[in-house]
Amino acid sequence: ALSLGYSGVQVITVQRIIDFFNNDIIPIVCDRGSLGASGDLAPLANLFLPLIGVGDVYYQGRKREAMSVLDEFGWKPIRLMSKEGLALLNGTQFMSANGVFAMLRAFKLSKKADLIAAVSLEAFDGCLDPFLDCLHQMRPHKGQIETADNFRKLLEGSELIAREKDHVQDPYSFRCIPQVHGATKDAIRYVASVLLTEINSVTDNPTIFPDEDKIISGGNFHGQPLAISYDFLAIALAELGNISERRVAQLIMGLRGLPEFLVANPGVNSGFMIPQYASASMVSQNKMYCYAASSDSIVSSNGQEDHVSMGANAAIKIFKVMDNLNHILAIELMNAAQGIDFRRPAKTSPILENFLKEYRKEVAFVNDDIVMYKEIHKTVAFLNRISLEFMD
């Protein structure tokens, strides 16, 4: 943003920021304090204090005072000139940076949701018809078509999906996967487009136009485009968890030849009852996090800043939604893999068999009641570690 040349900063200031980045000198930034208008003032102050020799950084794995690291490199603190303080603080970089990181995770979570849901569909002895392309061409939302296509590829060559069914329809949490997962894909793409525009924009104030000899005080620091988009993203990601938990519930209800609670040895064993509780709890917590931060505002700066975006708050809470979603999907995988094992010796597709083979190296079939939270943690670690080669 500063390098575009409309912010009125010295070249040395931009160069020092690049030097910090290239040498892995990471300023320590607090995650609270921004109202998302007039820039991310407090977090960006944390970010740029080290330029003037104040504040703290992470360097070589340790928290260090910024001045000591500057001395180590033989760098003098930057002496900020006119307008530079405003240029460094009056921007949306904090909420933008969090958004970029969130988007990278969101794309992966969307892919993993498809992969795990496909295992659940097989475990539930679901039908392929709702994923046929001709159906989705009648309602051609891009994400919907893409999701159905993913499932046809994932399930190609499956004995389970090809065998004759005793039932005509599946519950919505299975039948409507293309519509629900697809809508989330479309939402993620939309938010990515907004974010791409934002990170290539000038968002400090005032903006300097040297060729026109103008200095214009405006409102490009206002984070409303990001705030609304992040709230939208939170809702879209939460819905992946919402429908995932419903599939888990269907798998433990003793339907379609599966034992209740997926218990291998019934009696005193409660099987997969409590993981569904945990999933339901996190789904409800995500609904709480879907409160629209962008619908909030509070007056600051003695009434001058009388409408703010709360974009930073919208960005931060996405991570809480995604952390819950990661655990919800892990619980679904645990249940789906258990259900598939009850279908043996029938096999699913080669892609899913390979995926389940890798998973079973980490998490075993449950015969008798065990401490489930450890298995959830192992499943989360597995999902965080695997590549998405199963989807590519």
User: What's the pLDDT tens digit per position in 119-151?
Assistant: 999 999 999 999 999 999 999 999 999 999 999
Task: Say yes or no to pLDDT of 32 above 90.
Answer: no
Same domain, 145 and 185: yes
- Is 388's pLDDT higher than 80? no
Whether the upstream peptide bond of residue 171 has omega within 30° of 0, thus cis, is no
Q: Give the global pTM.
A: 0.94
85 shares a domain with 116: no
Q: In whole angstroms, how large is the CA radius of gyration of the chain?
A: 25
Interior CA angle at 87 toward 85 and 88, to 5°?
Answer: 70
Q: Alpha-carbon distance 297 to 222, whole Å?
A: 12
Tell whether the model's pLDDT for residue 190 goes beyond 90. Answer: yes
Q: Beta-strand (E) ranges in the chain?
A: 26-27, 56-59, 62-65, 207-209, 214-216
200 lies in the same domain as 106:
yes
359/357 Cα distance (integer angstroms): 5
Give the bridge partners for 260, in sequence order: 253
Residue in 378, 354, 362 with CA at minimum distance from that of residue 118: 354
Report the C-alpha gap between 329 and 245 in whole angstroms: 8
CA 367 vs CA 129, 234, 266: distances in Å: 33, 37, 9
Q: Angle, to 10 degrees, between the axis of helix 350-360 and the axis of helix 93-123?
A: 110
> Do 41 and 28 have their domain in common?
yes
| pLDDT score at 389 | 62
Residue 150 and residue 47 share a domain: no
Measured between alpha carbons, how far is 200 from 198 in angstroms, rounded to an integer? 5
**263 and 305 part of one domain:** yes
CATH number at residue 224: 1.20.200.10
Report residue 27: phi and psi, to 5°.
-60, 145
Instruction: Tell whether 126 and 142 lie within a shared domain.
Output: yes
User: Phi first, then psi: what are they for 65, rounded to 5°?
Assistant: -70, 135
Phi-psi region of 254 (alpha: psi -120 to 50; beta: other; left: phi over 0): left
How many separate domains does the chain show? 2
Q: Which amino acid is at 269?
A: N
Which band of pLDDT confidence, cut at 50, 70 and 90, is reported for residue 162?
very high
- Domain end, chosen from 89, 108, 133, is at 89
pLDDT bin (cut points 50, 70, 90) of residue 374 is very high
Q: What is the CATH number of the domain that holds 59?
A: 1.10.275.10
Rounded Cα distance, 167 and 22, in Å: 60
**Same domain as 115, residue 74:** no
Is 82 in the same domain as 136? no
pLDDT at 264: 83
Considering the domain architecture, whether residues 356 and 267 belong to the same structural domain is answered as yes
pLDDT at 262: 93
Which residues are CB-neighbours of 165 under 8 A, at least 6 positions away? 125, 127
Is residue 332 domain-shared with residue 253, that is, in the same domain? Answer: yes
Q: Quickly tell me which residue has 């703290």 as its tokens.
A: 56
Question: Do 181 and 168 form a contact (C-beta atoms < 8 A)?
Answer: no
Asked whether the beta carbons of 46 and 30 are under 8 A apart, the reply is yes
Domain co-membership, 84 together with 98: no
Rounded to 5 degrees, what angle do the CA atoms 203, 187, 279 make?
Answer: 115
Among residues 29, 57, 89, the one where a domain terminates is 89
Q: What is the pLDDT of residue 265?
A: 81
The model's pLDDT over 328-341, given as tens digits with 9 standing for 90+, comes to 999 999 999 999 99
DSSP state of 343: T
Element (H, E) at 212: none
| Per-residue pLDDT reduced to its tens digit, 227-254 | 999 999 999 999 999 999 999 999 999 9
Distance (Å, whole) CA 330 – CA 120 = 12
| Structural domain boundaries enclosing 244 | 93-391
Average confidence score pLDDT of the chain: 94
Tally DSSP H helices, then E strands, for the chain: 15, 5
* Contact predicate 112/329, CB 8 Å: yes
Whether the Cβ atoms of residue 352 and residue 154 lie closer than 8 Å to each other: yes
Taking a C-beta distance cutoff of 8 angstroms, is the pair 25, 297 a contact? Answer: no
Q: What is the pLDDT of residue 98?
A: 96
Which of residues 89, 121, 141 is at a domain's end?
89
